[in-house]
Amino acid sequence: MKTAYKDMFPHDFDRAKERNSIAFLPIWALERHWYHNALWLDCLKPEKILNLVAEKIWWVVFPSLYLWYDLYPHLDIKLKPNKAYDCYHIEPELYNDLIRWYVLRMKHIWFQRVFILSWHYPNKTILEETCKNLSDNKEGFQVSVHTEVDFVPNQEGDHAWKRETSLLMATHPTHVDLSLMEWKENRLLWVKWEDPSLSDKKRWEEMINLIVSNICDYL
């Protein structure tokens, strides 16, 4: 059974809608995760996790918008014209409108619930603000916004270090190359938690299974 909208024929989509009324929407940001991780890190992981959940209960995983905006004003491209890796960022007002209309179109085609999983942690607050007025109890329509941290006990997010690097190793091992960090003077410039050289693919494969299981239980 197909779960990814991008792989479906019309009859696949119709069958999925008949079976379940929940739509998945992965959300991310395009940004650098230092030397050792692929630039697509924030994009790869939520899509992978949602597809793993969808395979268990046959939901539809919609394509995300391959766009975002910079949530850090001091790094804004207008102030930092030489800033790289964020060429797909757009203005926040435009992005909020895009998300709003995307969700409302899901409602229009009969989905009763939209589950948004964001991997770029600051996005959650912005998305909650965007979606807070879209739920409609009278019509039985609900929108919820989450990060994967919501489904892992005693965890918090990081940026490109042991935890996040391990998760990418577990989902897309060819997109991590720790050797690219070696001998770099600023290899730990953004470290706040554990060194990514300590990344553990096997442990985080188990953690992904826990995330998937907890999302299923939540829904």
Per-residue confidence (pLDDT) for residue 86, from 0 to 100: 64
**DSSP helix/strand/coil, 191:** coil
3-7, 124-128, 132-136, 166-170: lowest mean pLDDT where?
A: 124-128
Does residue 6 carry a pLDDT above 60?
yes
| Separation CA 193–CA 163 (nearest Å) | 9
Q: Is residue 70 within 8 Å of residue 13, measured between CB atoms?
A: no
- pLDDT bin (cut points 50, 70, 90) of residue 103 is very high
Mean pLDDT of 132-161: 85
What is the pLDDT averaged over residues 128-139? 86
Q: Answer yes or no: is pLDDT of 27 > 90.
A: no
Three-class SS of residue 63? coil
Start-to-end CA span in the chain (Å): 20
The CA distance from 53 to 3, in Å, is 10
Determine contact, residues 49/208, Cβ cutoff 8 Å: yes
Mean pLDDT of the chain: 84
* pLDDT score, position 146: 93
Number of domains in the chain: 1
More confident residue, 164 or 79: 164
Helix, strand or coil for residue 53?
helix
Distances in whole angstroms, Cα of residue 75 to Cα of each of 118, 123, 152, 160: 21, 16, 30, 18
Instruction: Give the whole-angstrom CA distance, residue 95 versus residue 197.
Output: 35
Q: How many percent of the chain have pLDDT more than 70?
A: 88
Angle subtended at Cα 84 by Cα 81 and Cα 85, rounded to the nearest 5 degrees: 140
Q: Looking at residues 101-124, what average pLDDT do you find?
A: 88
What's the confidence (pLDDT) of residue 163? Answer: 83
What would the mean pLDDT of 150-160 be, rounded to a whole number?
80
Higher pLDDT, 107 or 95: 107
Task: Choose between 48 and 87: higher pLDDT.
Answer: 48
**Would you say 135 and 141 are in contact if contact means Cβ atoms under 8 Å apart?**
yes
Write out the residue range of the structural domain in which residue 54 sits: 5-218
Q: Each residue of 183-209: pLDDT tens digit?
A: 887 777 765 667 888 888 888 888 899
User: Could you give the CA distance from residue 92 to residue 157 in angstroms, rounded to a whole number?
Assistant: 23
**What's the CATH code of the domain at 120?**
3.40.50.10310
Q: What is the pTM of this model?
A: 0.87
- What integer is the mean pLDDT of 50-65? 88
Kindly report, residue by residue over 156-169, the tens digit of the pLDDT. Answer: 777 788 888 888 99
pLDDT of residue 133: 86
**Quick one: average pLDDT of 90-118?**
88
CB 16 within 8 A of CB 59: yes
